[in-house]
Amino acid sequence: MSKLKNLSVEGTVILVTGGTSGIGRVVTTTLCAQGASVVFTGRNETEGNAINTELRGEGSDCHFVSADLREEGGITRVIDKCLSTYGRLDVAFNNAGIFDNSALFHEYKDEDWELMIASNLTSIFRCMKAELEVMIKQGEGVIINNASVVGHRATERATPGYVASKHGVIGLTRQAALQYANAGIRVNSISPGPTFTEIQQPLVDQGPDAVADHVGTLNPRAQFISPEEIADVVLFLAGSAPDMLTGQDIAIDGGQLYKL
C-alpha cells in the first residue's frame, strides 16, 4: 500500500529565499495561496515590502525580511524571524542566487568566480546549516534547493562559476539527504530549464516564433518553463511528497537533459 501522505502545506511555516522576483516570487505567492505561513527574503527592500503588503492585503500570513544571504548575519536574521514569529521552520526553499553571462574559462575573472560561488553555493551551504540545526531539534523538516539543468551538464550560455555552483548545489543536497535520512528531514533539489521570468520578457514580446527559435535549441518542447510549473513541484516536495523521496534532483526542463 502506498504511503503517500497527501499532505497540504496549509498551516506550515515555510522560508523562501530570493522571494522578491522570478521563480521565488511565484513560489511565495503559490505557497501563500495554499495557506502556508511564509517568510521570504530579498535584497530589494522596496519590492519586498510591496509584495508583502499586497499578499497580506489578500489575507496571506507572510513576512518579508530584507537580507543579503552572502552575509552570515543576514541568514541569522532570517532564521530568527521564523522562530520568533512562528516558533518553528517546517520547510525551506533555498532559491536565492545570481546569473552571469557566458565567459570563456581562461578569461573568467577571479572576482567574478568568487562572487558567483558566494552567491549561489556558499550562501546555500550556510542557509542549510542554519535550517538543519532548527529541523534537527524539531525532529522533522523539508529542505528544497534550487539548482539548474546546468548542474548536470556544461553550457555555452553561462560561466564556469555558474555551472560549478549549480553542480555544487546538487552535491550539497545529496550529502545532506544522506546524513539526515534518519532524522525526519527530507532534502531534495529542483533543476529548472529556461524559465519565463522578467528577464525573458523582451524575447517573449517578439512573439512565439522568436521564442521557439531560441528555446528550441535547448528543449524539445521549444517553450519556456513557466514559474508556476516550478512552483507546483516545490509545492509537491513541501507537502505531499513521500518520506522516502529524498536526495533527489527533479529536472523541470521539457526534456532538455535528454536531448543529444
Q: Give catalytic residues, as residue numbers.
A: 162
Which sign does the torsion angle of CA 212, 217, 218, 219 carry? positive
**Residue pointed to by grid coordinates 518579508:** 64
How many residues in total does the chain contain?
Answer: 260
Residue 243 Cα to chain centre, angstroms: 20
3-state secondary structure of 146: strand
Distance CA 17, CA 133 (A): 17
Distance CA 219, CA 190 (A): 17
List, in sequence order, every residue forming a beta bridge with 65; answer none if it has no partner: 41
Q: Phi, psi at residue 58, to the nearest 5°? A: -90, 5
3-state secondary structure of 10: coil
